[in-house]
Structure 1
Amino acid sequence: MINEKEIVSYIKELVTIPSPSGYTEEAIKYAAEFMEKRKVPFEITNKGALLASIKGEDDSRHRLLTAHVDTLGAMVKEIKPNGRLKLTLIGGFRWNSVEGEYCKIHTADGTIITGTILINQTSVHVYKNAGDAKRDEETMEVRVDAVVKTKAEMEAMGISVGDFVSFDPRVEVTESGFLKSRHLDDKASVGILLHIVDLISEHKIKLACTTHFLISNNEEIGYGGNSNIPEQTVEYLAVDMGAIGDGQATDEFSVSICAKDSSGPYHYRLRQYLVALAQANAIDYRVDIYPYYGSDASAAIRAGHDVVHGLIGPGIDASHAFERTHLSSLKHTANLILHYVESEMM
């Protein structure tokens, strides 16, 4: 039933919509139009997130699944005298991960101006120690694709401090089944949830209980899904990337089930319940711990919500850089979610 090619089609569309935290209206609009076409009731919250709801067999206790549409990005911090731009980061990433990346500056009047993120001493023919220079807010800049040589000329184009800057996703699917792109964190998971809603609508799948789908829009800055939780919600499952690296169990081919991250352990019984569902349905999974990580589910717990919380997601290589996963990971994650929403509460 799971169609990973349909999931990929949603992801490819989503990653091409610029949506750094604080600039997510178009991405949320995409999700809203999706729900409208399928006649799924939803609302847009005051914070700008989308909350869709599908009634289940049990309407007294609810589940909530969330994935976030906001991404890493930047904002114009300063226009330099020579017309180049200093940036300030949005989200937790390293400057070297975006060096050489194409970007877009989104001006207040809606104009989009392209550029490239570079260190201010790039040319090895001029700067002997260019490779050793520190990459930080002082040394990185945007070379704007416009004939400008001064700050005044740049301001005349409409660029100003506070303009959002988004990164070129460079999305590609390889013949070997890999999906590589920026912003798979967490648009891969959003694409999966949209596919699940598709399946529920198309096949008239009965849900065990009323289930909410929250497309949050501020996760990268720590508070995307900690409010707007219906009071009947008992279980809260964040669908976000699984972190890959040395010492990690997560890979690009399975669904990752998080036991603990920097916020502490996730709910033990829910984790075990998800593992049992995976085992019973031949779903390839890995249980893992993410040492430097937080999710919308952990934000909800910190905000004081009395819910059972969990975290699963596709394994994403090179998180917060140029990311990659495999279609099999998307499929296993979607399968686990589908069996979860069909199953009785633990």
Structure 2
Amino acid sequence: MIDSSYVAEQLLTLLKTPSPTGFTDVAMGVLTGMLEDMGIAPERTPKGALYWTLKGEEGGKMVAFSAHIDTLGAMVKEIKENGRLKLTALGGYDWATVEGEYCTVHLNDGQAITGTVVNIKQSTHVWGAELRDLKRTDETMEVRLDARTFSAADTLALGVQVGDFVSWDSRAVLTDAGYLKSRHLDNKAAVAIFLGVTKAVLEQKLSLKHTVHFFISNYEEVGHGASVGIPEDTTELVAVDMAAIGKGQASSEHHCTLCVKDSSGPYDHRLGNRLREAALKAGITLKIDIYPYYGSDASAAWRAGGNYPAALIGPGVDASHAYERTHMDALDDTAKLILAYLTH
């Protein structure tokens, strides 16, 4: 029922569209175009989030599924005397995960300059053991611009300013084995899943038991994405975001996961059980997991006073907040679970 090739195609397009937190308008425009191609005119909130609605049976629940299009990134904190850029992080990641990454500095006039993230002692031939012992922090990492600049004055003359946004090259690849390797699968994978579900509902004229709002936030990586904007008639909220994989975790790159607790506390037990039941009826292997260092748009909505049960599901993603990887199996199962919950 889900067009996997469509989901993959849209996901790759979104992954290649820069959208660090606070700089998401271009990506929202791309997403709007994808929806308009299906005959849907999405709405925007004053905060810049986006949502669209598919009608279900009269008197049914109003279920909101949320995802976020904003990603990790940085801003220019300082133009250094050598012409390179000191950064301030957007979102929570370790600086070591972006060392050597290609990046783009987005200038206020709409132009862009590419560069590379390096540390201040990058050459082993110059620094030797000092390089290996160097702690990667915002004080030791910098952007080496792909431009002839040797001083702060040179860089300023290029139009670079403090506060310019910096995006990481996603390096998005879909392998022959069905693995998706990319930065920012968190959380553009869920946005593409919503597009695939919407396409299936419209083209196959599926009857929905519940009216559904698909809500795309733009500030999740800094903790307040869905704190406002969730449609007021919502009676249930299900955040769809990456499932973290690693030692002690049950999540898998090949499956959808139900997170029952993260650092914000437990999610709604009854709603979680309804999702488990939908997965069981649809023949979907649903992993159950807990994430100790994690928060979602659902927890942000709850903190802001959201008066509805909330849950968290999503495809398993390896190496979260670094160069991530998942498999189309996990995207397909997450889409199928959403469809099963809406149609049964």
**Which residue of the partner structure matches residue 281 of structure 2?**
280
Q: For 2:41 and 2:103, locate their aligned partners in 1 and report how far apart those are by CA, in whole Å.
A: 35
Task: Verify: 1:246 aligned to 2:264, yes or no.
Answer: no
Query: Which blocks of at least 5 consecutive residues in structure 2 are unaligned?
Result: none
Contact kept in structure 2, 1:41 and 1:54, CA below 8 Å: no
Contact 1:59–1:210 (Cα < 8 Å) also in 2: no
Displacement of 1:197 in angstroms is 0.8
Cα distance between partner residues in 2 of 1:223 and 1:59: 31
Once residues 243 and 49 of structure 1 are traced to their aligned partners in structure 2, the CA distance between those partners, rounded to angstroms, is 25
Structure 2 partner of 1:38: 38
Indicate conservation of the 8 Å contact 1:252/1:317, yes or no.
yes
Aligned to 1:117: 117
AA partner of residue 338 (structure 2)? I
Paired residues for 1:233-272 under 5 Å:
233-272=234-273
Is the 8 Å Cα contact of residues 170 and 184 (structure 2) preserved in structure 1?
A: yes
Give the aligned partner of residue 80 of structure 1: 80
Query: What do residues 81-129 of structure 1 show as CA deviations (whole Å, max 9, x unaligned)?
Result: 1100000000000000000000000000011100000001010111022
The alpha carbon displacement at 1:35 in A equals 2.1
Aligned residue for 2:62? 62
SS at match of 1:162: coil
- Answer yes or no: is the 8 Å Cα contact 2:60–2:209 preserved in 1: no
Query: Aligned to 1:56, what secondary structure does the other structure show?
Result: coil
Cα RMSD (Å): 1.0
State the TM-score, normalized to the length of structure 2: 0.98
C-alpha distance in 2 between matches for 1:2 and 1:26: 27
* CA distance in structure 2 between the aligned counterparts of 1:329 and 1:271, rounded to whole angstroms: 18
Q: Secondary structure at the match of 2:295?
A: coil
Q: Which amino acid aligns with 1:103?
A: C
In the other structure, the counterpart of 1:170 is 171
1:38 Cα shift? 1.9
CA distance in 1, matches of 2:170, 2:159: 24
Pairs within 5 Å for 1:67-216: 67-128=67-128, 129-216=130-217
Distance 1:59 1:28 in 2: 31
Aligned residues, how many? 343
Residues of 2 paired with 1:265 and 1:313: CA distance? 16
In the alignment, what sits opposite 2:50?
A: 50
2:73 partner amino acid:
G
2:27 is paired with a residue whose SS is helix
- Structure 1 length as normaliser, TM-score? 0.97
Q: 2:67–2:217: 8 Å Cα contact kept in structure 1?
A: yes
Q: CA deviation at 1:275?
A: 1.0
Gaps of 5+ in 1: none
The corresponding residue for 1:15 is: 15
